[in-house]
Chain A
């Protein structure tokens, strides 16, 4: 069976085309990210009503929730990009996957750190063996494994493929890990954290959260594109168009 993909998909495989199209997209994403993040932050931190149980300390969710969502979707994106690279032998996909790993790991750290800061006033401890916290920690370990493997190879082509395989193995395992950790958690600890099960949020609270999530997506898309663009230039440094780009930049 032969699957035919749309034309833009194949065009994206050309490093030059990728560089040009991301160059055009970058300013739009930057503007969107700044607008969304500023609106979301001000709205969430200043105007949104305080929680009736947790007071103002709940406001960290405007950072915590978006980073948790992004940490997971970045892993998925890394694995899918790796699969695309393996199947269609697309170098750009490996570049994107490689750029995802360090970004994803730093977002996972951010999610854990904000979770700890929120946990101190709410649960009275920096760290609690809660299912979601533990699953996020394991996700961070998976990211660390991918980064370690990626930097261990000297040959770029094999390091690309090896990390793609590892991230696919991780992707298959993530649901299993997530459910096993949840199950372990219910076995070992009574569900005392009904505090986290917030009553349905009023719109004044979740609209800024939604804006923050979108803003995070745009912001990290900007970072991802910038990293991938630099990596493309680095890898294609022998080609003519890169020389041209660098010369233009120098003028």
Chain B
């Protein structure tokens, strides 16, 4: 049985499609990433899975149950962490956790054990009397996650959980997600950070309300048919413009002080020598580069145009 099964889901707001014909399956126990820029429709899709939105077209099944029918069953199965911190800022860490435990109908014995577990991984125990509004960004994130996990859900749905969190907290957060996954929890996480895609078992790339690619990160990166090179030089902007005009170049992309250029055909050494001369010495170094998720994503959106 698929944990989440989405078939031809469409959702429109005032006639504008936010999600357009998405079909997606999430397997039991996997850490699935929904990757895409802001406005791709990730939040709409996740909210629909959590029974917060009804579809205009299509169907969503969670553990075989329809999200428009078995609403209460699904809410007990799913733990949802919204993008924005949305707990009671004026209640303490512990009060928030206990309140949501009560709402999910967690029995007293189970609740105490669960609280200990959650405090252990989140390391929030020393702060349990502190008001949620006075926590740091990373701690808020962990409290939010703990609240979503309080009823030990089968499925954890996270909407851009690491948005605006510092790199160290992000890394720690992903380690926590991995440990939750080991407890046989299926995790569906959305993110706009392409580098986080490599941390997922499988990912779906989403762009303008549609899924453009689904697969393991390795598979997706292997699907990149072009020859990617990383170029360094004096003036990277000049380099990009120079290569963009060449007929054998598929796409160019600025990456900090380097330029990623993908070629339809692998260039020969003589080609490089010619380009070095033609670019008036701007091209200093070049090296073959394994494609990153970002390269693949950019390439897949390129096709759209």
**Do A and B share a complex?**
no
